Amino acid sequence: MYRLEDLNPVQQEAVKYREGPLLILAGAGSGKTRVLTHRIAYLIAQGVEPWEILAITFTNKAAQEMRERVGALTGSAGRGLWVSTFHSACVRILRQEIGYLPGYAHDFVIYDSNDQKAVVKTCLKECNLDEKKFPARAVGAVISEAKNKLWNPADFEERAADYFQEQAAKVYRLYHKKLKASNALDFDDLIMLTVILLGQNPEVLERYQERFRYILIDEYQDTNYAQYSLVKMLAGRYRNLCVVGDDDQSVYSWRGADIRNILDFERDYPEAKVLKLEQNYRSTQSILQAANSVVGNNRERKEKLLWTENPQGSPLVFYAADDEHDESRYVVERIQRLHNLEGRPFNDFAVLYRTNAQSRVLEERLMKEGIPYRIFSGHKFYERLEIKDILAYLRVLANPADKVNFSRILNVPKRGLGDAASAKVLEYAEEQNMPVLEAVLEAEYIPELQPRARKSLLAFARLMKDLKELAQAEKSVTKIAEEILSRTGYKDLLSADNTTESQARLENLAEFLSVTAEYDLKAHENKPLEDEFGVEYIPGLNGFLEQVSLVAETDQLDQREAAVILMTMHSVKGLEFPVVFVVGMEEGIFPGSRSQLEPGLVEEERRLCYVALTRAREKVYLSYADHRMLYGRRQYNRRSRFLEEIPYNLLNEKDPSDPPARQASKKAGNVEYGSRTPAAGMPASAFGSPARKLGTPLVANNQEDFLVGNKIGHDKFGQGIIMAVKGKGRETILTVNFQGQLKQIATEYAKITRL
Partner DNA sequence: CCGATTTCCGCACAG
Partner DNA sequence: CGGAAATCGG
Q: In the 8-state DSSP scheme, what is residue 589?
A: B
Q: Does 412 bind DNA (CB under 7 A)?
A: no
Question: Is residue 647 within 8 Å of 289, Cβ to Cβ?
Answer: yes
Q: Which of 570, 627, 714, 743 binds DNA (CB under 7 A)?
A: 570
Q: Does 547 bind DNA (CB under 7 A)?
A: no
Q: Does 102 bind DNA (CB under 7 A)?
A: no
69 is catalytic: no
Which residue type does 724 have? A
Q: How far is CA 141 from the centre of its chain?
A: 17
Question: Is residue 692 within 8 Å of 728, Cβ to Cβ?
Answer: no
| 739 Rama class: left (phi>0) / alpha (psi -120 to 50) / beta | left
Q: Which of 20, 416, 578, 674 binds DNA (CB under 7 A)?
A: 416
3-class secondary-structure state, position 567? strand
- CA–CA separation, 382 vs 388, rounded Å? 6
Show the site string, 110-129: x = touches DNA by CB under 7 A, - = not.
--xx----------------
Residues within window 40-59 making contact with DNA, judged by CB under 7 A: 58-59
Residues 615, 619, 628, 641: which is the catalytic one? 615
Q: Does 377 bind DNA (CB under 7 A)?
A: yes
Q: Select 252 or 269, whichever has its Cβ closest to DNA.
A: 252
Residues within window 230-289 making contact with DNA, judged by CB under 7 A: 254-255
- CA–CA separation, 62 vs 555, rounded Å? 8
249 is catalytic: yes
Residues 16, 18, 33, 645: which is the catalytic one? 33
Q: Select 21 or 592, whichever has its Cβ closest to DNA.
A: 592
Using only C-alpha atoms, what is the Rg of the chain? Answer: 29
Residues 223, 227, 249, 358: which is the catalytic one? 249
Question: Is residue 513 within 8 Å of 478, Cβ to Cβ?
Answer: yes
Q: How far is CA 96 from the centre of its chain?
A: 28
Q: Select 290 or 550, whichever has its Cβ closest to DNA.
A: 550
- CA–CA separation, 246 vs 265, rounded Å? 12
Q: Select 42 or 544, whichever has its Cβ closest to DNA.
A: 544
Q: Select 605 or 705, whichever has its Cβ closest to DNA.
A: 605
32 is catalytic: yes
| Contact residues for 166 (Cβ-Cβ < 8 A; gap 6+) | 157, 160
Residues within window 166-205 making contact with DNA, judged by CB under 7 A: 187-188
Q: Which helix (H) or strand (E) holds 375?
A: strand 373-376
Show the site string, 70-99: x = touches DNA by CB under 7 A, - = not.
---------------xxxx-----------
Q: Does 488 bind DNA (CB under 7 A)?
A: no
- What residues are paired with 455 via a beta bridge? none
Give the phi and the psi of residue 185 in degrees, each rounded to 5.
-120, 140
Q: Report the nearest approach of DNA to the CB of residue 136 (Å).
A: 8
Residues 52, 97, 115, 219: which is the catalytic one? 219
218 is catalytic: yes
Residues within window 430-469 making contact with DNA, judged by CB under 7 A: 453
Question: Is residue 600 within 8 Å of 260, Cβ to Cβ?
Answer: no
Q: Which of 75, 80, 236, 378 binds DNA (CB under 7 A)?
A: 378
Instruction: Please state the three-class secondary structure of 230-245 as a single string.
Output: HHHHHCCCCCCEEEEE
Q: Select 196 or 601, whichever has its Cβ closest to DNA.
A: 601
Nearest to 534 by CA among 53, 20, 194: 53
Q: Which residues are catalytic?
A: 32-33, 218-219, 249, 615
Contacting positions for DNA (CB under 7 A) = 58-61, 85-88, 112-113, 131-132, 144, 187-188, 254-255, 354-357, 360, 376-378, 380, 411, 414-421, 453, 550-555, 567-568, 570-571, 592, 594-595, 601, 629, 631-632
